Structure 1
Amino acid sequence: MVAPSEPAGLFTPSSVFVYGTLMPGERYERVAHAAAPPQRAEPAHLDGYTLYDLRPEGYPALAAGGGRVYGWVLHYGAGWEAALPHLDDLEGLHLTPPLYRREQVQASTQSGPQRVWVYLYTRAARLAAQGAAVLPSGRWTDAPDRQGGAGWPGSEEE
Protein backbone atom coordinates (compact mmCIF):
# COMPACT_ATOMS: atom_id res chain seq x y z
CA MET A 1 0.00 0.00 0.00
CA VAL A 2 1.18 3.51 -0.73
CA ALA A 3 0.72 5.51 2.43
CA PRO A 4 -1.19 8.78 2.13
CA SER A 5 0.97 11.89 2.15
CA GLU A 6 0.27 13.49 5.50
CA PRO A 7 3.01 15.66 7.00
CA ALA A 8 3.17 15.21 10.77
CA GLY A 9 1.53 17.91 12.85
CA LEU A 10 -0.22 19.66 9.99
CA PHE A 11 -3.90 20.16 9.28
CA THR A 12 -5.58 17.04 7.87
CA PRO A 13 -8.21 17.95 5.29
CA SER A 14 -11.76 16.62 5.46
CA SER A 15 -12.37 17.32 1.78
CA VAL A 16 -11.51 15.36 -1.36
CA PHE A 17 -10.94 16.69 -4.89
CA VAL A 18 -12.63 14.36 -7.41
CA TYR A 19 -12.06 14.67 -11.14
CA GLY A 20 -13.62 11.61 -12.78
CA THR A 21 -16.02 8.81 -11.97
CA LEU A 22 -16.54 10.06 -8.37
CA MET A 23 -17.84 13.48 -9.44
CA PRO A 24 -21.49 14.42 -8.96
CA GLY A 25 -23.54 12.71 -11.67
CA GLU A 26 -20.82 10.21 -12.59
CA ARG A 27 -21.01 6.42 -12.31
CA TYR A 28 -19.22 5.99 -8.94
CA GLU A 29 -20.64 9.05 -7.20
CA ARG A 30 -22.39 6.63 -4.81
CA VAL A 31 -19.00 5.45 -3.47
CA ALA A 32 -18.23 9.00 -2.36
CA HIS A 33 -21.53 8.91 -0.41
CA ALA A 34 -21.29 5.34 0.95
CA ALA A 35 -20.28 5.75 4.58
CA ALA A 36 -20.35 9.48 5.18
CA PRO A 37 -22.08 11.57 2.53
CA PRO A 38 -20.39 14.89 1.75
CA GLN A 39 -22.18 17.92 3.14
CA ARG A 40 -21.64 19.81 -0.12
CA ALA A 41 -19.81 19.69 -3.44
CA GLU A 42 -18.01 22.72 -4.83
CA PRO A 43 -16.62 23.15 -8.38
CA ALA A 44 -12.81 23.39 -8.30
CA HIS A 45 -9.62 22.97 -10.28
CA LEU A 46 -6.02 21.90 -9.74
CA ASP A 47 -3.12 23.56 -11.52
CA GLY A 48 0.03 21.65 -12.39
CA TYR A 49 -1.62 18.32 -13.25
CA THR A 50 -2.57 16.36 -16.37
CA LEU A 51 -5.75 14.31 -16.79
CA TYR A 52 -5.69 11.10 -18.85
CA ASP A 53 -8.45 8.93 -20.26
CA LEU A 54 -7.42 5.28 -19.90
CA ARG A 55 -8.83 2.78 -22.40
CA PRO A 56 -9.94 0.05 -22.25
CA GLU A 57 -10.11 0.62 -18.48
CA GLY A 58 -12.68 3.41 -18.82
CA TYR A 59 -11.49 5.60 -15.97
CA PRO A 60 -9.32 8.70 -15.59
CA ALA A 61 -5.79 9.05 -14.27
CA LEU A 62 -4.35 12.20 -12.72
CA ALA A 63 -0.60 12.82 -12.79
CA ALA A 64 1.72 15.74 -12.13
CA GLY A 65 2.08 17.83 -15.26
CA GLY A 66 1.66 21.31 -16.60
CA GLY A 67 -2.08 21.59 -17.04
CA ARG A 68 -5.27 22.43 -15.24
CA VAL A 69 -7.74 19.74 -14.19
CA TYR A 70 -11.36 20.49 -13.34
CA GLY A 71 -13.48 18.65 -10.83
CA TRP A 72 -15.29 19.02 -7.54
CA VAL A 73 -14.26 19.35 -3.92
CA LEU A 74 -16.43 17.12 -1.77
CA HIS A 75 -16.65 18.65 1.71
CA TYR A 76 -17.31 16.11 4.44
CA GLY A 77 -18.43 16.83 7.98
CA ALA A 78 -18.12 14.86 11.20
CA GLY A 79 -17.25 11.25 10.61
CA TRP A 80 -15.62 11.99 7.25
CA GLU A 81 -12.89 9.42 7.96
CA ALA A 82 -15.49 6.71 7.34
CA ALA A 83 -15.58 7.69 3.65
CA LEU A 84 -11.84 7.21 3.10
CA PRO A 85 -11.75 3.37 3.17
CA HIS A 86 -14.45 3.27 0.47
CA LEU A 87 -12.59 5.78 -1.67
CA ASP A 88 -9.23 4.06 -1.07
CA ASP A 89 -10.70 0.70 -2.12
CA LEU A 90 -12.16 2.11 -5.34
CA GLU A 91 -8.85 3.81 -6.16
CA GLY A 92 -6.83 0.61 -5.62
CA LEU A 93 -4.57 1.87 -2.83
CA HIS A 94 -4.26 -1.65 -1.43
CA LEU A 95 -3.30 -3.36 -4.69
CA THR A 96 0.27 -4.45 -5.36
CA PRO A 97 1.40 -2.26 -6.99
CA PRO A 98 -1.26 0.33 -6.13
CA LEU A 99 -3.21 2.12 -8.85
CA TYR A 100 -3.37 5.45 -7.03
CA ARG A 101 -1.95 7.16 -3.96
CA ARG A 102 -3.77 9.72 -1.83
CA GLU A 103 -1.99 13.04 -1.33
CA GLN A 104 -2.77 16.47 0.04
CA VAL A 105 -2.88 19.29 -2.50
CA GLN A 106 -4.35 22.76 -2.81
CA ALA A 107 -7.45 23.09 -4.97
CA SER A 108 -8.80 26.40 -6.23
CA THR A 109 -12.48 27.08 -5.63
CA GLN A 110 -14.76 30.10 -5.85
CA SER A 111 -14.56 30.38 -2.07
CA GLY A 112 -10.75 30.39 -2.17
CA PRO A 113 -7.94 27.85 -1.95
CA GLN A 114 -8.76 24.59 -0.16
CA ARG A 115 -6.39 21.95 1.24
CA VAL A 116 -7.82 18.63 0.02
CA TRP A 117 -7.04 14.99 -0.58
CA VAL A 118 -6.60 13.84 -4.19
CA TYR A 119 -5.87 10.47 -5.78
CA LEU A 120 -2.84 10.47 -8.11
CA TYR A 121 -2.18 7.65 -10.55
CA THR A 122 0.97 5.67 -9.72
CA ARG A 123 1.64 3.54 -12.81
CA ALA A 124 3.70 5.92 -14.96
CA ALA A 125 4.48 3.28 -17.61
CA ARG A 126 0.75 2.88 -18.27
CA LEU A 127 0.42 6.59 -19.03
CA ALA A 128 2.98 6.23 -21.82
CA ALA A 129 1.32 3.14 -23.32
CA GLN A 130 -1.34 2.77 -26.00
CA GLY A 131 -4.83 3.64 -24.77
CA ALA A 132 -3.74 6.47 -22.44
CA ALA A 133 -4.88 9.78 -23.92
CA VAL A 134 -4.38 13.22 -22.41
CA LEU A 135 -7.63 15.15 -22.04
CA PRO A 136 -6.43 18.64 -23.09
CA SER A 137 -9.53 20.31 -21.61
CA GLY A 138 -8.74 18.86 -18.17
CA ARG A 139 -12.36 17.67 -17.92
CA TRP A 140 -13.30 14.02 -17.55
CA THR A 141 -16.69 14.79 -19.03
CA ASP A 142 -14.94 15.48 -22.36
CA ALA A 143 -13.65 11.90 -22.56
CA PRO A 144 -15.13 10.13 -25.58
CA ASP A 145 -17.23 7.06 -24.87
CA ARG A 146 -17.10 7.50 -21.10
CA GLN A 147 -19.86 5.91 -19.05
CA GLY A 148 -21.38 8.42 -16.75
CA GLY A 149 -23.42 11.51 -16.28
CA ALA A 150 -24.81 14.12 -18.61
CA GLY A 151 -21.72 16.32 -18.99
CA TRP A 152 -19.96 19.13 -17.21
CA PRO A 153 -22.40 21.24 -15.21
CA GLY A 154 -22.79 24.57 -16.94
CA SER A 155 -21.07 23.42 -20.14
CA GLU A 156 -24.06 24.46 -22.23
CA GLU A 157 -23.23 28.07 -21.31
CA GLU A 158 -19.54 27.90 -22.22
Structure 2
Amino acid sequence: MDNRNMSDIIESYLKEILETTNKIEIRRSEMANLFNCVPSQINYVINTRFTVPKGYKVESKRGGGGYIRIFKINLLSSSDYLQNLTEIVESKLSESEAEAVLEQLHGNHLITDREFRLLVSLFDSKSLLPSENVSALRSQMMLSLLERLAYEELE
Protein backbone atom coordinates (compact mmCIF):
# COMPACT_ATOMS: atom_id res chain seq x y z
CA MET A 1 0.00 0.00 0.00
CA ASP A 2 1.18 3.56 -0.63
CA ASN A 3 2.00 6.20 1.96
CA ARG A 4 -1.43 7.85 2.04
CA ASN A 5 -3.39 7.82 5.27
CA MET A 6 -6.83 6.25 5.62
CA SER A 7 -8.63 9.60 5.19
CA ASP A 8 -6.83 10.19 1.88
CA ILE A 9 -7.76 6.69 0.68
CA ILE A 10 -11.44 7.12 1.58
CA GLU A 11 -11.51 10.57 -0.05
CA SER A 12 -9.90 9.24 -3.24
CA TYR A 13 -12.35 6.36 -3.39
CA LEU A 14 -15.38 8.65 -3.11
CA LYS A 15 -14.00 11.22 -5.55
CA GLU A 16 -13.27 8.47 -8.07
CA ILE A 17 -16.94 7.47 -7.95
CA LEU A 18 -17.99 11.13 -8.22
CA GLU A 19 -16.00 11.45 -11.46
CA THR A 20 -18.61 9.30 -13.20
CA THR A 21 -21.73 10.56 -11.43
CA ASN A 22 -22.79 13.78 -9.72
CA LYS A 23 -24.32 12.05 -6.67
CA ILE A 24 -23.51 9.09 -4.49
CA GLU A 25 -25.30 7.60 -1.53
CA ILE A 26 -23.36 5.66 1.04
CA ARG A 27 -24.00 4.04 4.38
CA ARG A 28 -21.50 4.98 7.04
CA SER A 29 -21.28 1.48 8.54
CA GLU A 30 -20.83 -0.16 5.12
CA MET A 31 -18.02 2.25 4.25
CA ALA A 32 -16.37 1.60 7.62
CA ASN A 33 -16.50 -2.14 6.95
CA LEU A 34 -15.13 -1.67 3.43
CA PHE A 35 -12.13 0.29 4.72
CA ASN A 36 -11.82 -1.60 8.01
CA CYS A 37 -12.06 1.59 10.06
CA VAL A 38 -14.38 3.11 12.63
CA PRO A 39 -17.52 4.90 11.37
CA SER A 40 -16.30 8.18 12.86
CA GLN A 41 -13.41 8.07 10.34
CA ILE A 42 -16.00 8.18 7.54
CA ASN A 43 -17.69 11.16 9.25
CA TYR A 44 -14.35 12.95 9.51
CA VAL A 45 -13.65 12.53 5.79
CA ILE A 46 -17.14 13.66 4.80
CA ASN A 47 -17.13 16.67 7.15
CA THR A 48 -13.67 17.93 6.22
CA ARG A 49 -13.19 16.99 2.58
CA PHE A 50 -16.65 17.21 1.04
CA THR A 51 -17.71 20.74 1.95
CA VAL A 52 -19.52 23.41 -0.03
CA PRO A 53 -16.36 25.51 -0.45
CA LYS A 54 -14.72 22.43 -1.96
CA GLY A 55 -17.59 21.95 -4.42
CA TYR A 56 -19.77 19.39 -2.64
CA LYS A 57 -23.08 19.31 -0.84
CA VAL A 58 -23.77 16.62 1.75
CA GLU A 59 -27.11 15.38 3.08
CA SER A 60 -27.42 12.77 5.77
CA LYS A 61 -29.98 10.87 7.78
CA ARG A 62 -29.02 9.02 10.93
CA GLY A 63 -30.51 5.89 12.38
CA GLY A 64 -31.90 2.77 10.75
CA GLY A 65 -32.01 3.19 7.01
CA GLY A 66 -29.75 6.22 7.37
CA TYR A 67 -27.55 7.42 4.56
CA ILE A 68 -25.02 10.00 3.51
CA ARG A 69 -25.52 11.57 0.09
CA ILE A 70 -22.73 13.53 -1.55
CA PHE A 71 -23.52 15.79 -4.50
CA LYS A 72 -21.07 17.54 -6.77
CA ILE A 73 -22.21 21.13 -7.12
CA ASN A 74 -23.07 21.89 -10.72
CA LEU A 75 -22.38 25.45 -11.72
CA LEU A 76 -25.22 27.08 -13.60
CA SER A 77 -23.25 30.25 -14.20
CA SER A 78 -20.37 31.84 -12.41
CA SER A 79 -22.57 34.63 -11.03
CA ASP A 80 -24.91 32.02 -9.46
CA TYR A 81 -21.86 30.21 -8.16
CA LEU A 82 -20.37 33.39 -6.70
CA GLN A 83 -23.68 34.16 -5.00
CA ASN A 84 -23.75 30.66 -3.48
CA LEU A 85 -20.19 31.11 -2.20
CA THR A 86 -21.11 34.47 -0.72
CA GLU A 87 -23.98 32.83 1.17
CA ILE A 88 -21.75 30.17 2.72
CA VAL A 89 -18.98 32.52 3.84
CA GLU A 90 -19.79 33.12 7.47
CA SER A 91 -18.81 36.03 9.68
CA LYS A 92 -15.58 34.21 10.50
CA LEU A 93 -13.41 32.38 7.99
CA SER A 94 -10.43 30.21 8.84
CA GLU A 95 -7.31 30.14 6.71
CA SER A 96 -8.12 26.63 5.44
CA GLU A 97 -11.72 27.63 4.59
CA ALA A 98 -10.45 30.67 2.68
CA GLU A 99 -8.01 28.50 0.76
CA ALA A 100 -10.80 26.04 -0.08
CA VAL A 101 -12.92 28.87 -1.51
CA LEU A 102 -9.94 30.15 -3.52
CA GLU A 103 -9.32 26.62 -4.84
CA GLN A 104 -12.92 26.53 -6.04
CA LEU A 105 -12.58 29.91 -7.74
CA HIS A 106 -9.38 28.74 -9.40
CA GLY A 107 -10.79 25.33 -10.35
CA ASN A 108 -13.77 27.02 -11.99
CA HIS A 109 -11.52 29.44 -13.91
CA LEU A 110 -12.75 32.54 -12.10
CA ILE A 111 -9.20 33.42 -11.06
CA THR A 112 -5.90 32.67 -12.78
CA ASP A 113 -3.02 30.59 -11.42
CA ARG A 114 -1.15 33.77 -10.51
CA GLU A 115 -4.18 35.35 -8.84
CA PHE A 116 -4.74 32.15 -6.87
CA ARG A 117 -1.17 32.13 -5.53
CA LEU A 118 -1.32 35.84 -4.66
CA LEU A 119 -4.67 35.53 -2.90
CA VAL A 120 -3.59 32.47 -0.91
CA SER A 121 -0.64 34.47 0.39
CA LEU A 122 -2.93 37.39 1.33
CA PHE A 123 -5.35 35.17 3.26
CA ASP A 124 -2.46 33.41 5.03
CA SER A 125 -2.22 33.99 8.79
CA LYS A 126 1.34 35.24 8.36
CA SER A 127 0.05 38.10 6.18
CA LEU A 128 -2.60 39.24 8.63
CA LEU A 129 -1.77 40.89 11.93
CA PRO A 130 -2.56 38.54 14.80
CA SER A 131 -5.75 39.50 16.58
CA GLU A 132 -8.93 37.95 17.82
CA ASN A 133 -10.69 39.45 14.78
CA VAL A 134 -8.45 37.92 12.10
CA SER A 135 -11.14 35.38 11.08
CA ALA A 136 -13.70 38.17 10.75
CA LEU A 137 -11.25 40.21 8.67
CA ARG A 138 -10.55 37.21 6.43
CA SER A 139 -14.31 36.73 5.98
CA GLN A 140 -14.82 40.37 5.02
CA MET A 141 -11.92 40.21 2.57
CA MET A 142 -13.42 37.10 0.94
CA LEU A 143 -16.86 38.69 0.66
CA SER A 144 -15.30 41.74 -0.99
CA LEU A 145 -13.43 39.51 -3.42
CA LEU A 146 -16.55 37.54 -4.32
CA GLU A 147 -18.56 40.73 -4.79
CA ARG A 148 -15.90 42.16 -7.09
CA LEU A 149 -15.70 38.97 -9.14
CA ALA A 150 -19.49 38.99 -9.57
CA TYR A 151 -19.41 42.66 -10.54
CA GLU A 152 -16.71 42.06 -13.17
CA GLU A 153 -18.76 39.29 -14.70
CA LEU A 154 -21.67 41.66 -15.25
CA GLU A 155 -19.49 44.22 -17.06
- Tell me whether the two structures share a fold, i.e. TM-score over 0.5: no
**Bigger strand fraction:** 1
With a CA cutoff of 8 Å and minimum separation of 6, indicate the structure with the bigger relative contact order.
1
Please say which structure displays the higher CA radius of gyration.
2
**Bigger helix fraction:** 2
Normalised TM-score (structure 1): 0.21
